[in-house]
Amino acid sequence: MARWVSKALAVGPGLAVSTAVTVVVGPVLHPVAGAVIFFGGLLTEVLLLVGRGEPLAARLLMFSRPARPEELEVVAPAVTTLCAAGLGPPVIQLRVRDRQHGIWASGAGRRTVVLSSGLIEAVADGDLPQEQAAAVIGHAAALTRGGWTRCDAALAFWSLPWQVLRTVASAVARAGRGLPLVSFAWRMRFVVIAIAVVQNIYAGRPWLAVGIGGIGALSYAIPVWERSWQKMILHAGDRALVDAGMAGPWAAVLRRCPRTPLTRSRLHMLEVPTSTARRLELVAPR
Per-domain boundaries in the chain? 61-145, 178-277
Per-residue model confidence (pLDDT) at position 178:
64
**Residue 189 backbone dihedrals phi, psi, to 5 degrees:** -65, -20
- What is the sign, positive or negative, of the torsion defined by CA atoms of 94, 98, 234, 60? negative
Sheet holding 65-66, edge to edge: 65-66, 93-97, 112-116, 105-108
Q: What is the pLDDT of residue 177?
A: 65
d(CA 96, CA 51): 20
Q: Among 3.30.1490, 3.30.2010, 3.40.1000, 1.10.3470, what is the CATH number of 61-145?
A: 3.30.2010
pTM (predicted TM-score): 0.85
CB contact at 8 A, 153 and 108 = yes
Compute CA distances 54 → 74, 158, 207, 221, 235, whole Å: 25, 15, 42, 31, 25
pLDDT at 90: 81
Mean pLDDT per 10-residue section of the chain, whose length is 286 residues: 89 92 84 85 90 90 93 95 86 91 92 95 95 96 92 92 87 71 76 91 91 91 94 94 93 91 91 48 38
CB-CB neighbours of 253 under 10 Å = 20
Predicted pLDDT of residue 276 = 41
pLDDT of residue 274: 46
CB 89 within 8 A of CB 72: no
Residue 281: predicted pLDDT: 37
Quote the pLDDT of residue 173: 72
pLDDT at 37: 84
